[in-house]
Amino acid sequence: MGMINTKFCETVHVGNHSFEIIGDSIDGSTGKVNQDSFGFYHDDECLIVAVADGLGSAPLSQIVSECIVETVMEVLSDPDPGDIWRHISEKWKSSIEGPLDQYDTTCKFICIRNGKATVGSIGDGWIGMLHTNGYQELENSNVFTNRTKSICSPKLMDRTYTGECDLDDIISFGISTDGFSEDFDRESRFEFLRDVCDDMSGDLRATRDAIR
């Protein structure tokens, strides 16, 4: 049986909008170290949520999953981050010591600013969106696969994904590492996101400025 080892639920305010954020991490039944990290950052202008999953083959993967989450939040807190993944990669490399392959992790993020959401990914996992017209998974066939790509992948810029969407009519976002995306099919992921919305806010569909 899994055990919850990290959990938070907070309401934050960004500009004129309010956002509810929940985070949860569950240990698997294998007894292996949980190498997931996640967190969020917000100020008056933006909200950033990031998750990362350290690769078990890398000795320091748990450390780097924490490091990459912090790096993503630092880079995206800049209103003009430029080439996002290149900036993240350069900043991350400058913060570590030793061979890069000792530090390996996947990473996903959502950044909300000025009425738009920017999403990014390297490696497997899930980003889902519930809006007034239904459910959508934001994905790219070259990125969201069962073949893990990571921050140490060769030709990193060719293996990352970055997209943008308007917040109009969006009810909630979901973001996770591969543990969730591999254990549940698309319909179950949709039902999870819908049920979380119902449980947390009741009539959340009447509140368009919400993220989960």
Reading phi first (left if > 0) and then psi (alpha if -120 to 50, else beta), residue 72 is in: alpha
Which pLDDT tens digit goes with each residue over 165-192? 888 878 889 998 887 888 888 899 888 8
pTM over 0.85: no
Q: Taking 70 as the threshold, does the pLDDT of residue 143 lie above it?
A: no
The answer to whether 189 and 181 have CB atoms below 8 angstroms apart is yes
Which H or E run includes 12? strand 3-14
User: How confident is the model at residue 93, as a pLDDT?
Assistant: 81
